[in-house]
Amino acid sequence: MMAWLMAGLLFTPLAWAVMSLMAGFRAGWRLAWLGMAVQGLVSVLLWLAIADQGGFYYALGDWPAPLGIELRVDGLAVTFILLTATVATACGLHAGVYLDPDKPWQRYFWPLFWFLWAGLNAVWLGADLFNLYVGLELISLSAVGLVALGGAGDALRASLRYLLAALVGSLFYLLGVALIYGQFGTLSLGGVAQLAEDHTALAGAGIALALMLAGLALKTALFPLHGWLPPAHGIAPSPVSALLSALVLKASFYIAARLWLALGETQGSYGVAQLAGALGAAAVLWGSWMACLQPRLKQVVAYSTVAQVGYLFLLFPLTWQVSDQISQQAQEGMTLQVISHALAKAAMFLAAGNLVLSTGSSKVEDLAGVGRFLPFSLFSFGLAGVSLMSLPPSGGFAAKWLLLQATIGSGQWWWALVLIAGGLLSAAYVFRIYRASFQEASGQDDFHHPPRRLEAIPMALALLSLGLGLAGEPVLAIMGLPFEEDG
C-alpha cells in the first residue's frame, strides 16, 4: 500500500510529463485532469496514512542511506505535498482555460508543468543533500522554461536573469554540500545531523552551512538578493506566476529551514541567525514599500511576495538556542505562513490575471471602473489580501500570532515591530489596488468578461487561505507528529 502511494507520488508527475509531451495542448489538458486527480488522491491518502501511523524513511531501490537515497516522509513533508497538490491543481485548471491553446508553443506548457510538480515533490521528501540539489535544478529549469515559453524580449530578459540567479544559488548550495561531504563523509541529512550533534562547532561545517543558506536565500529571493524575482514573476503568464510565487520559492526555503533545524543548533551561530532575521525584516519593509510604488498590477503582487518571504526568515533567529516550546511555536508559525501565503498568493496572481485579461492592460491606473464590472475577481483579490495583511481569522493571522508569541517568548521583541509594520504596509498596497478599481472610469468601459471558471478558482483558493486560520489546529497537529527514527 505504502509503496504504491510513494510510487504514485513520485512517478505520476514524471510519467505525465512524458505523455503530455506527446500530446498537444488540448489533449495535454484532458490528460492533466486525470493526472491531477491521481496526484490529489495519492496526496490525501498519504496524508491520512501519516496522520494514522506517523512518519518513516523510504529507501529508494532498497539501498538504505548512506549508500542509497532515502526519502523522509513525515508530517511536514506530507503537509507540503498536499499544499502542492491543491495549488498546482488550481493553477493547472486555470491555465487550461487561461492560456491560448492555438499558440504553437503552448503544447510545451504541460510537460514543463509536470516536471515542475515532480521536482517539488522530490524536494519536499528529499533527505539526501545531493538529491535535493538535483531536485532544485529540476524545479529551476522547468520554472525558467515556463517563464520563457513563447516569450518576447522582456520575458527572455527576465527568464535569463532568473536562470543566472537560480544557477548561482544552486552552485553555492552545491559547494556547501561538497564541504559537508568532506567533513562528515555522508550525504544523508539525518546522518549529518547525528554526526553534527557529537562534534559541535566545527569551523568548516559552519562555513558550509552558511554557504548553503546563502545560495538558498538567493533562490528564495531574500532581500537584497531579490532583484531577479519581480521581473520574472511579473512577466510570466498568471498561472505560471502563481506557481512560482506560491510553490517554487518555498522549495528552496524549505531546504534552508530543514538544514537550519538539523544543523543550526550545533554548527550555526548567533550572528548567522540574527543576520537571516534582519534581512528577512528588511525584505518585509522594503518589499511592501516597493509594492506600494509599482505602476503595474502584477509587479505589485510580485513585490508583495518579496515581503511575505521575508517573514519566513524570522524562523532562523526564533529557533536558535531557545526552549523547545518556543522553537515549536516558531516552526508552526513558519509552516502556517508558508501554507497561507501559498494559497493567498496563488489566489492573488490568478485574480490579477483575470483583472488584466478583463481590462486589457497591466497598469494599476487602468483598473479604474473595473470595480463595477468584475467584483468577483476583485473580491477574491481582496480576500487573499486579508490573509496577507494578517487580519483574523485568516491563516496569515494565525501564522503571525504564533510568530509573535515566539518573539515575545524568546525575548527578541524587535521582530514584533516588523510583524506589525509589515501588516500595515501590506494593507496599504492592497487598498491601493482597491482605490484604483473603484475610481469612476473616464470613458473606459469596454471590459472583457473572463469565463466563470477563471473567476471561481482564485475565489476557492482565497477562501481556503482564509479558512486556514480556523482549521489551523488539525493541520499543525499533523505537521508536528513524532517521527519514528527507526521506521
**Member of 46, 83, 85, 179 binding another protein (CB under 8 A):** 179
Give me the residues paired with residue 363 across strands.
Answer: 296
- Provide the minimum distance between the beta carbon of 153 and another protein in the complex, in angstroms, as a whole number: 4
Q: Is 390 in the site for another protein (CB under 8 A)?
A: no
Site size toward another protein (CB under 8 A) is 108
Positions in 40-69 near another protein (CB under 8 A): 59-63, 66-69
Q: Give the per-residue contact string, 191-210, with another protein (x = CB under 8 A; - = no).
A: x---x--xx--xxxxxxx--
Report the nearest approach of another protein to the CB of residue 329 (Å).
Answer: 33
Among 40, 54, 101, 150, binds another protein (CB under 8 A): 150
Least separation in angstroms between residue 205's CB and another protein is 8
Closer to another protein by Cβ: residue 333 or 450:
450
Asked if 1 touches another protein (CB under 8 A), the answer is no
User: Which of 353, 371, 385, 395 contacts another protein by CB under 8 A?
Assistant: 353
Rule CB under 8 A: say whether 125 interacts with another protein: no
When binding is defined by CB under 8 A, the residue of 79, 84, 89, 159 that contacts another protein is 159
Q: Which is nearer to another protein, 322 or 367 (CB)?
A: 367
Name which position in 76, 83, 112, 399 contacts another protein (CB under 8 A): 112
Closer to another protein at the Cβ: 162 or 253? 162
Nearer to another protein, 192 or 344 (CB): 192
Does residue number 368 form part of the binding site for another protein (CB under 8 A)? no
Residue 292 in the binding site for another protein (CB under 8 A): no
